[in-house]
Amino acid sequence: MVTIKSWEEIEIMREAGRIVAEVFVAIEPFLRPGVSTAKIDSIAEEVIRDYGAEPSFLGVPGPVPYPAATCISIDDEVVHGIPNVNRLLQEGQIVSVDVGAKIHGLHGDAARTWPIGETASELLDLIRTAEDCFWVGLEQARVGNRIGDISAAVQKLAEAKGYGVIRTLCGHGIGHELHESPNVPNYGKAGYGPRLEVGMTLALEPMITLGGYAVRQKSDGWTIVTADGKAAAHYENSFAITADEPIVFTVLKNEQSL
């Protein structure tokens, strides 16, 4: 069931989203060769708690409860990479960081992908395209449109650039729960799916690859990687549907694109 949020709830979600955006500001200087993914995770958790919030991901049920405040996924890892003190970032990698924060009972959720040091041009374009896919999809996030209009816009741009679009993972509703209805796929047909209404709060998260869309799960029970070993990029923001343009919760004012 889709939960419609009040204006008061949306204001709290703006606060949660701003905290997530501040995490990205805090960790970016540490996204360099030689830094451990555990170090990045510890900085993120410190920022979240300093703002009086809780990490949304910590303890999420799974094969084992998720053990960290962030998901940090490298190269062919699509999502849910577990931070590790022994895993050091290396020159030429691309790294996706997914973060959630909960405050006053409501969540914010977002992800970004960064290059580490000197990185191949094809990887830089993959990162840019993942972000562009979000903003193209967001243009369809208007009252009266359908989820499929968002999904189709993401798919069209990604595939026009020759990239694979992950199908078994998708965006979602968000609010009092980290994952709520409806699902927000990154592929689909325009004109299909739930109709968008004022007060719906969603997380759109394009996940695109240099290869195909097939994935597999690693033995840790969490990390999802591309089946063909090709690199993947991930870009996500949480937002609300309004009578006018959507309100994006998880960007700072100078970040908004398109």
The residue extents of the domains of the chain are 7-250
Distance, CA of 42 to CA of 27 (rounded, Å): 10
The domain 7-250: what is its CATH number? 3.90.230.10
What does pLDDT average to over the chain?
Answer: 97
Pairing type for strands 54-55 and 94-103 reads antiparallel
Q: Which residue has the tokens 């009972």?
A: 105
What letter represents residue 36's amino acid? S
Residue length, the chain?
258
Q: Transcribe 200-250 into DSSP letters.
A: -EEEE--EEESS-S-EEE-TTSS-EEETT---EEE-BEEEE--SSSPEESS
Task: Quote the pLDDT of residue 258.
Answer: 45
Task: Quote the pLDDT of residue 256.
Answer: 56
pLDDT tier at 189, thresholds 50, 70, 90 = very high
pLDDT tens profile 65-96: 999 999 999 999 999 999 999 999 999 999 99
Task: State the CB neighbour count (10 A cutoff) for residue 186.
Answer: 27
Distance, CA of 167 to CA of 258 (rounded, Å): 25
Quote the distance between the C-alpha of residue 53 and its chain's center: 19
pLDDT tier at 117, thresholds 50, 70, 90 = very high
Task: Quote the pLDDT of residue 201.
Answer: 98
Name, in order, each residue with C-beta under 8 angstroms of 165's C-beta and a sequence gap of 6 or more: 154, 155, 158, 159, 186, 187, 206, 207, 208, 209, 213
pLDDT tens profile 206-249: 999 999 999 999 999 999 999 999 999 999 999 999 999 999 99
Distances (CA, A) of 53 to 8, 47, 49, 203: 17, 9, 5, 19
pTM: 0.96
Residue of 176, 154, 178 lying closest to 234 (CA atoms): 154
pLDDT tier at 253, thresholds 50, 70, 90 = confident
Q: What's the mean pLDDT in 195-202?
A: 98
pLDDT tier at 136, thresholds 50, 70, 90 = very high
Distance, CA of 61 to CA of 53 (rounded, Å): 19
Distance, CA of 115 to CA of 124 (rounded, Å): 7
pLDDT tens profile 41-71: 999 999 999 999 999 999 999 999 999 999 9
Q: What's the mean pLDDT in 173-182?
A: 98
